[in-house]
Structure 1
Amino acid sequence: MQPSVPFTPADVQRSLGILRDVGFANSVHRAPVAIAMDPLPPVNARGGRTVPPEGWRAVYMVVVGEDMCNHMKNLHGGAAATLVDTVTSVTLALLATDSFWGYPMISGVTAALDMTYYDAAPLGTKMRLTCTVEHAGGALANLRGELTDWDTGKPYASGTHIKTWRDLRPKSKPKAEVKDKAKM
């Protein structure tokens, strides 16, 4: 059902005031610091990388900055989702080859992102963002991002991220087709 009651001028002012106070987007992409990753799986016979059954992981450190916070000075859910979205994508990109999740569609596009929030992460919290590539096939990848306290492991949020990819490079034409066009 679509909303049917229009905003009053006071409601407009109230909602825009709240939106102006959410300023998390400025630093969220600069915040993660790469800490460690599993060894890269070797390139397989098909030109991709076979993800081990337990997944392939990378760990990042993130400190909750002021412009990642809501008005209560805790990590905003949108900032957490943005971190999981972009950093799991970067983690998948580390596995890319010329013919597997590579350019020009490096790490593909999001098909679904599902977040679960467990507890507030206050301003200044040092978090561990563990990104796991659970599966990466020819067209779909299943990723997971977990935001936990760096020292205690207390969970703050986690997300599952499904990505899709296809090889967008121009396909070379069979030689017979090239010869037929030359006759025209």
Structure 2
Amino acid sequence: MAPQHVEHLQDWMSQMHQLANRADEDGLGFTPDTFGRAKIVDADADSATFEYVVQKSDCNFTNNFHGGAIATLVDNLTTAALFTRERKYFQYAGVSTDLHVTYVSAATLGMTVLLECKVAKVGSGLANTTAVLKDKATNRVLATASHTKFNTDSRMGGGSKL
């Protein structure tokens, strides 16, 4: 574990948690619990591993981790992996252009899931990341994912960086 990468990532996740938990006239931001409940297990310059306990709000009616909740978690945490270090591009996290999740095995209510997120490439326009979700207790693969992001830095202009 590289302390500087964990620290950089924790700072970014804290900022995102605050943004997601802001309330305005429209209510809470989207996915307020993701950044607050995901625990950083390890991080280096181009990867991060998170631990996440499946909650009732993440489950479908059969108490299995809902595919949409998994996709949201992958979206948020592969993006977080971009912030394990300073980068020339993607200062504002960008927007998703493609998110593909392959569901391999069920995750159940209360299960602790490990998400191993890797940054494959970061260019001036696109970033490519991957994730593998595993049952922490058995190391069984639950899902694999790829996530492509488009850089929006030039459109954000001014203001503070995330």
Q: What TM-score results when the alignment is normalised by the length of structure 1?
A: 0.63
How many positions carry a matched residue from both structures? 127
Which is greater in Rg? Answer: 1
1:150 to 127, 132, 136: 136
Q: Is the helix fraction higher in 1 or 2? A: 2
1:68 to 45, 58, 62: 58
Residue of structure 1 equivalent to 2:6: none
- Whether 1:128 and 2:114 are equivalent positions in the alignment is yes
Shift >6 Å, 4+ stretches: none
Residue of structure 1 equivalent to 2:78: 88
- Gaps of at least 5 residues in structure 2 are 1-30
How far 1:170 moved relative to its partner?
5.3
How far 1:160 moved relative to its partner?
0.5
**Over aligned residue pairs, what C-alpha RMSD do you find?**
1.9
Question: Which residues of 2 match residues 44-123 of structure 1 at below 5 A?
Answer: 56-97=46-87, 99-102=88-91, 106-123=92-109
Residue of structure 2 equivalent to 1:33: 39
Residue of structure 2 equivalent to 1:13: none
- The answer to whether the 8 A contact 1:27-1:68 is kept is no
CA–CA separation in structure 2 for the residues paired with 1:164 and 1:154:
31
Cα deviation, 1:76-124, whole Å, max 9, x if unaligned, reads 0000000000111111133344x4211xxx1211010011001110101
Q: Percent identity?
A: 32
Give the partner amino acid of 1:145.
A
How far 1:141 moved relative to its partner?
0.8
Q: Is the strand fraction higher in 1 or 2? A: 2
Inter-CA distance 72–29: structure 2 relative to 1 (3 Å threshold): farther
